[in-house]
Amino acid sequence: MKKIIFTLLAVAICFAALPATAGAETYNLTYSNFFPPTHIQSKLAEEWCREVEKRTDGKVMVSYFPGGTLTKARQCYDGVVQGLSDIGLSALAYSRGRFPVMAAVDLPLGYRSGGAATEVANAVYEHFKPAELSDVQPMYFHAHGPGLLHTAKKPVKKLEDLKGLKIRATGNSAKLVSALGGAPVAMSMPDSYQAIRKGVVDGGMYPVETNKGWKMAEVVDYCTLNYPVAYTTTFFVVMNKDKWNELPADIQKTIAEINREWAVKHGEAWDESDQAGKKFFESKGGKFISLDEGEGKRWKEKAEPMMEAYAKDASEKGVDGKAVLDFTVEKLKAVQK
């Protein structure tokens, strides 16, 4: 009898010594990201995973898959919807036409920083809560710094200088190049380096960070600071809706707090990357060209039809395009004061 009592007491002591979280349900999630593991945006995404694990006391564990190893950039959003991954980070532009409300953010509205673009993107989502994103649980959005014109050999100081130049550009940036009188050529960023080096195209439209990130500063000579029509690209971080709904309310609250912090971190990282790209560009002999107020106004007037086209296209999809555009423009003005 004493032996039985001793055994039961030992078992009780062992259970008492276990952590308070033992026996609590653990949620194992997967996170897909197309950025390579060395990219700052990928590092931040992985840090988000670890922060979630830390602040939930290990109740949520996240397996991270960078470099498109789980789903490719264009598949990422649908991959989250279908449960191929529980969380995903990619660009909304890879599903162009699918997100009419959020598409307003990517227009050439005159962005001057990734921080501003990121704040605008999140504000647009929070204000409109667009139905286009109702098949996932959005975590947060972030956006790169101003998309600017880069050219090899020929400086572009005014609209006339751009006429006839072949410029690597895709999506909204391609529409912008066309509106400004250039000839947009669609191609991937990896192909752009050789295309510019060999003279197949005369330059590219992209954020300054790309000069270092993709070594583009080695093949371009000039960057036109076309801030009046600078565009951005919005990136999403979304979660499978069913997986989100499985999480207890306290864990959801914790993740929401982390999301607000990380959106800011991503925006700041884009700006830091732009500064690194600027220094690398200048170290390679690159020169920046500023537009005076009058010339900047000319560029903006040329881009205006893009805004009108957006409002019309969005309205055809059941969205009040003008209201979305007006809100986006006003928000950008407010954050860039």
The model's confidence at residue 2, banded by pLDDT at 50, 70 and 90, is very low
pTM: 0.90
pLDDT, one tens digit per residue, over 206-243 is 999 999 999 999 999 999 999 999 999 999 999 999 99
Q: Give residue-wise pLDDT tens across range 72-114.
A: 999 999 999 999 999 999 999 888 889 999 999 999 999 999 9
**What long-range pairs does 22-25 form, CB within 8 A, spacing at least 24?**
24/59, 25/59
- Is the confidence at residue 162, as pLDDT, over 70? yes
- Domain ranges for the chain: 147-231+283-335
Q: Is 214 exposed, middle or buried (0-12, 13-18, 19+ CB in 10 A)?
A: middle
Q: What confidence score (pLDDT) does residue 189 get?
A: 82
Q: In this predicted structure, what is the pLDDT of residue 21?
A: 39
196 is written with which tokens?
């510019």
For 247-286, give one letter per residue: b (16+ CB within 10 A) or e.
beeebeebbeebbeebbebbbbbbbebbebbbebbeebeb
pLDDT band at 24 (very low <50, low <70, confident <90, very high): low
Rounded to the nearest integer, the mean pLDDT of the chain is 93
CA 221 to CA 70: how far, in whole Å? 37
Q: What is the pLDDT of residue 10?
A: 42
CATH T-level assignment (fold) for domain 147-231+283-335:
D-Maltodextrin-Binding Protein; domain 2 (3.40.190)
Residue 143 pairs in a beta bridge with 234
Count Cβ neighbours within 10 Å for each residue of 219-228 and write b for 16 or more, e otherwise: bbbbbbbbbb
Share of the chain above pLDDT 70, in %: 93
Beta-ladder partners of 151:
203, 222
Give the residue among 87, 99, 97 at the shortest CA–CA distance from 131: 99
